[in-house]
Chain A
Amino acid sequence: MMFKPVLLWSDALFFLLLAAALGGVAWAARVEHLRVAWRRVGQSRTGMAAATLLLAFVAVGLLDSLHYRERLPGEKEAYAVEVRSALDALLSGLRTRTEKTYSAPLATHSFAKETLDAEGGGRDFPRLKYGGAHLGDDLAGQGADLLVRTVQGLGIGMVAWLALWLASAPLRRAAPGLAWNAALVTLLALCLVAGPVAALAQGYHVLGTDKVGQDVLYLTLKSIRTGLLIGTLTTLIMLPAAVFLGLLAGYAGGWLDDVIQYVYTTLNSIPGVLLIAAAVLMMQVMIDTHPDWFATSAERADARLLALCAILGITSWTGLCRLLRGETLKLRELEYVQAARALGVSDLRILSRHILPNVMHIVMIAIVMDFSGLVLAEAVLSYVGIGVDPNTISFGTMINTARMELAREPMVWWSLAAAFVFMFALVLAANLFADVVRDAFDPRAAR
């Protein structure tokens, strides 16, 4: 074996989530009202474009979730301590070509002056080790080189798009009437951006390098998984509690309702950041005092990420719970629920057959709308220093380091800009998709 696969807890949960999503799609295809609603999502141009962009992000996140440990050379079977992912392997060039320190996007020289040891001495911008190294001393040819690579990249992007276009033909035939054009246009734009970036990344640092010389493009791509995990796992954790308690409070009423209401009102009245900070710090102490629990540093970082998801989940179920309680209060008095009670149907069956299916649209809308909020929450928490492990690459940690970079003169802007552009694209896609989903599932729009 050349490598040993590693399944981190977050990977397992991520795959579980994907499997659940696929299962949900298969189920929705058989239930009429869900099929109709999702079909409306598919018929919306905005919906399809946003979904395409989200799928691209999910693909990156998925590649980044296939973890392994490389086998060390030598007779004995031993594996490296670093846990890498399929994305790392794919981007090994980006990962290994680290410079000494900051360099601007597409630069050939370092961003800061250094004392040179060569003859002549003096202080100057040193030549980068990798950025534009293939140019040799012919720096005048950089412009032409960039142009050639961009054109090549555009060509590759176009070819890739044509391939995807042909590959998606059976899919389009299977589901006519959906807004496939919008999806294809988005895909084309994506290919035309990704192609040149990939071509340029062979010889340059497209988005520059950070303080310790890491490629910023690599960092942003790695951040995507963290953002996706926080956005989805948190929902997964809070969903059962929110749905169960919300339905119970609304349907049972009486003292149960009072207890549940008091619990979430109390939870809501504690400042969120304070609660999260306390929980994260406690978690950190726990992790630090038990180093034997974790075989690798990646596992430790992963545990902390999961802990953050759990804590965010525990503090964020109240909103959905309150919504569901209100809706259940309304549904409970509806005549079909009364009729079911008169027929002697058990409470559990009423909840599962009559109430749950009729609040599912609220759950669906809440999941999609919460996603973007949680991605942003991670960034804010990491910025404050109570987010993910400092070793975990995330949008939040990138923004956190940008605090110092912006104070420099001249300013280092590319780290923050890269994080901003990627996060903006992800959150915008999620928000647009959430809007379309909400419209499609709104029962009033159905008529």
Chain B
Amino acid sequence: MNLLEVRALSVAIGAARPVDGVAFDLAPGETFALLGESGCGKSLTALALMRLLPAAARIAGGSVRFAGEELCVLPEARMRDVRGGRIGMIFQEPGTSLNPVMTIGAQIGEALRVHGGSAGRERVVELLAAVGIPDAARRAGEYPFQLSGGMKQRAMIAMALAGEPELLIADEPTTALDVTIQAQVLDLLRDLQRQRGMALLLITHDLGIVARMADRIGVMYAGQLVEVAPRAAFFAAPMHPYSRRLFAALPDAAARGQRLVTIPGSVPPLGTQFPGCRFVARCGDAMPVCRREPPPWRTPADGHAVRCHLEAAPAAALSAPGAAPEEKLGAGTAAQLEVRGLQVYFPIRRGVLRRTVGHVRAVDGVDLRLAAGRTLALVGESGCGKTTVGKAILGLLPPTGGGVAFAGAPQRGLAPARMQMVFQDPFNSLNPRLRVGAIVAEGNPAADVAALLEQVGLSADMAGRYPHEFSGGQRQRIAIARALAVRPPLLICDEPTSALDVSVQAQILNLLTDLQARLGLAYLFITHNIAVVDYLAHEVAVMYLGRIVERGTVAEVLRDPRHPYTQALLAAVPRLDGRRERVQVAGDPPSPADPPPGCHFHPRCPRAQARCRTAYPESVAFSATHAVSCFFAA
């Protein structure tokens, strides 16, 4: 018998249907993943199950049966017992899901009381210990600001467990977390699920997480499920053209040197009318019938259902038109950008007189070398100082020590014509009050705006429009055009694709490789996404707590990692084949205001020994390019 049966569930916001006829089952102890890009309705589906929809939205039809009980008609008072009791929920942003003025213990105690459990302190500590919070008794008395992001998410999970739920809904539970912490939280969820026999409804946009966690998968697009399949079948042979393109759009080492498959356009806006298939406008396999009739559900294999007119998926693998331009090997071996011993300290001021009592060592002696026309990836988790490195090289932040040399000449302050930056958040990187033409011409009023827009794949007539009319991917193109207007030989890209959906990310990555081949640009690519590094970069530098711990070519660092941190980082990335490597690294990164003595990584390192606690290891060279800062690298 199924624990949860959702039938023809629809959510209405005005006349629009952001969720339209969603149906799936969930058995006890099973993990079902709802997979989709932003705006496809997966979070609204979860909120509709809990009857927690925002005020503007309402359930327009369908049924939700939970353990044989119809939730849609349950009175609000009874529904409250279900919420947090029999169904628990955890949200994306642990920082805003906890009340900042209550201790963790008090918040969990409250959840326990509401659901009739004993709210004793022992029970709270027991729950905190169950979610892997060390020193649970002390942590129970602490406030959310004293906990790291990963700890907060664990505390949220403990709260969700307080009601002994039969079903746990996790809405992007690890999106806000770093990859090593993500691996820990995912392992925790999996262990808890196994121990308690909970069903898990996992909502995510990340194929890697799906491969690691899910038993069955539902792919959502524009408010509908388009494909439902068991994990093995889905990853072996996705049926729906959308699913197939999602896989092909993922960057990885195999795609290196080729253009990525992209899904043209973007997710249709809310309120679009669909006479036929919802994906038809972006589908490469569209037939005339796709425009006229909504596709029916077909079940080509047992348990594998797909909503598509195509009888059988084309056997040929998807490939993008036109191979990527040849890599010009040997292009520019002389260093164009050279960074030596770069330090950026932020003073910590206290007291009335604002005296400096210490420093946050955001960047603490970083050396980098980047040749013209090449890509250097700077990899690290949030808070390791990689963005600060970018800003200091650009001249937006004054360095505390060390220096930057460009084409052999030392450089101080801003150098607009030499290097430019592309920022992470496309929604904050364009002034909403200016037209696109004015934005692009910002740094160079004499720039040919039309040519620049066409260079980044936009049409020239978009110059007269305002940023809010564009999607995230288009905005990122505008930001690239603005940077290119001053013809810089070097672009610093600060996580340019991390705010974008997979299909749009592929478009931007293609654009960046094209521009590099055509204009001979060098990229300093700041990212935490290993797959993108594998696809795009020539060289890699891994950063931990303000210092580079390992550097080398992509093949050297990613295939043969020598530093324990690099190894842990690579092991933590969820893999599409679902293979799990147990992550050896525990805990959270320490604060750069108070780095541990000796090697910064030793408190989390499985190989740490006495001398790691006293001395910072010198960089050891393995080849002309490969260097590692670890005593045990050999």
Given A343-B442, A343-B486, A345-B442, is A336 in contact with B430 using a C-beta cutoff of 8 Å? Answer: yes
Are A335's CB and B394's CB within 8 A?
A: no
Are B433's CB and A343's CB within 8 A?
A: no
Are B431's CB and A341's CB within 8 A?
A: no
Which residue of chain A has the shortest Cβ distance to B414 in the bound complex?
A344
Least Cβ distance of B526 to chain A in Å?
13
Are B432's CB and A358's CB within 8 A?
A: yes
Against A, the Cβ 8 Å flags (1 = close, 0 = not) of B356-395 are 0000000000000000000000000000000000010011
A339 contacts B by Cβ under 8 Å: yes
Interface size class of A (residues with CB under 8 A): 10 to 19
B429 contacts A by Cβ under 8 Å: yes
A354 contacts B by Cβ under 8 Å: yes
A167 contacts B by Cβ under 8 Å: no
Q: Considering only CB atoms and an 8 Å cut-off, how many residues of chain B contact the other chain?
A: 27
Q: How far is the CA of A33 from the CA of B424 in the complex (A)?
A: 25
Are A334's CB and B428's CB within 8 A?
A: yes
Cβ–Cβ < 8 Å partners of A32 in chain B: 466
A171 contacts B by Cβ under 8 Å: no
Which residue of chain A has the shortest Cβ distance to B485 in the bound complex?
A343
Pick the residue among B395, B433, B482 that contacts A339 (CB under 8 A): B482
Are B414's CB and A354's CB within 8 A?
A: no
Cβ–Cβ < 8 Å partners of B486 in chain A: 343
B479 contacts A by Cβ under 8 Å: yes
Are B443's CB and A343's CB within 8 A?
A: yes
Are A344's CB and B432's CB within 8 A?
A: no
Which residue of chain A has the shortest Cβ distance to B354 in the bound complex?
A258
Are A335's CB and B429's CB within 8 A?
A: yes
Are A339's CB and B432's CB within 8 A?
A: no
Are A342's CB and B421's CB within 8 A?
A: yes
Least Cβ distance of A358 to chain B in Å?
6
A4 contacts B by Cβ under 8 Å: no
Against B, the Cβ 8 Å flags (1 = close, 0 = not) of A325-340 are 0000000001110111
Are A344's CB and B416's CB within 8 A?
A: yes
Are A342's CB and B466's CB within 8 A?
A: no
Q: How far is the CA of A352 from the CA of B345 in the complex (A)?
A: 31
Cβ–Cβ < 8 Å partners of B425 in chain A: 335
Which residue of chain A has the shortest Cβ distance to B479 in the bound complex?
A339
Q: How far is the CA of A338 from the CA of B429 in the complex (A)?
A: 8
Pick the residue among A33, A338, A342, A443 that contacts B416 (CB under 8 A): A342
Are A339's CB and B414's CB within 8 A?
A: no
Q: Which residues 16-68 of B have a CB within 8 angstroms of A?
A: none
Against A, the Cβ 8 Å flags (1 = close, 0 = not) of B415-438 are 010001101110011111110000
Q: How far is the CA of A339 from the CA of B424 in the complex (A)?
A: 11
Are A336's CB and B428's CB within 8 A?
A: yes
Cβ–Cβ < 8 Å partners of A177 in chain B: none
Which residue of chain A has the shortest Cβ distance to B442 in the bound complex?
A343
Which residue of chain B has the shortest Cβ distance to A338 in the bound complex?
B396
Are A33's CB and B443's CB within 8 A?
A: no
A357 contacts B by Cβ under 8 Å: yes
Against B, the Cβ 8 Å flags (1 = close, 0 = not) of A122-140 are 0000000000000000000
Q: How far is the CA of A343 from the CA of B416 in the complex (A)?
A: 5
Q: How far is the CA of A343 from the CA of B431 in the complex (A)?
A: 14
**Interface hub of B423, B433, B466 (most chain A Cβ within 10 A):** B433
Are B414's CB and A358's CB within 8 A?
A: no
Q: How far is the CA of A344 from the CA of B432 in the complex (A)?
A: 20
Which residue of chain A has the shortest Cβ distance to B416 in the bound complex?
A344
**Interface hub of B424, B442, B479 (most chain A Cβ within 10 A):** B442
Least Cβ distance of A91 to chain B in Å?
46
Pick the residue among A33, A336, A343, A354 that contacts B420 (CB under 8 A): A343
Pick the residue among B394, B421, B431, B479 that contacts A353 (CB under 8 A): B431
Which residue of chain B has the shortest Cβ distance to A336 in the bound complex?
B431
Q: How far is the CA of A354 from the CA of B434 in the complex (A)?
A: 8
Least Cβ distance of A442 to chain B in Å?
14
Pick the residue among B396, B432, B434 that contacts A342 (CB under 8 A): B396
Cβ–Cβ < 8 Å partners of A335 in chain B: 423-425, 428-429
Against B, the Cβ 8 Å flags (1 = close, 0 = not) of A32-47 are 1100000000000000
Cβ–Cβ < 8 Å partners of B420 in chain A: 342-343
Least Cβ distance of A416 to chain B in Å?
44
30 of the cross-chain contacts (CB-CB < 8 Å) are: A32-B466, A33-B433, A33-B466, A335-B425, A336-B429, A336-B430, A336-B431, A336-B439, A339-B423, A339-B479, A340-B442, A341-B396, A341-B414, A342-B394, A342-B395, A342-B414, A342-B420, A342-B421, A343-B420, A343-B442, A343-B443, A343-B444, A344-B414, A344-B443, A345-B442, A345-B443, A354-B431, A358-B431, A358-B432, A443-B432
Residues of B within 8 A of A (CB): 391, 394-396, 414, 416, 420-421, 423-425, 428-434, 439, 442-444, 466, 479, 482-483, 486
Residues of A within 8 A of B (CB): 32-33, 334-336, 338-345, 353-354, 357-358, 443
The 7 nearest A-B residue pairs measured at CB: A343-B443, A344-B416, A335-B429, A335-B423, A357-B433, A336-B431, A335-B428
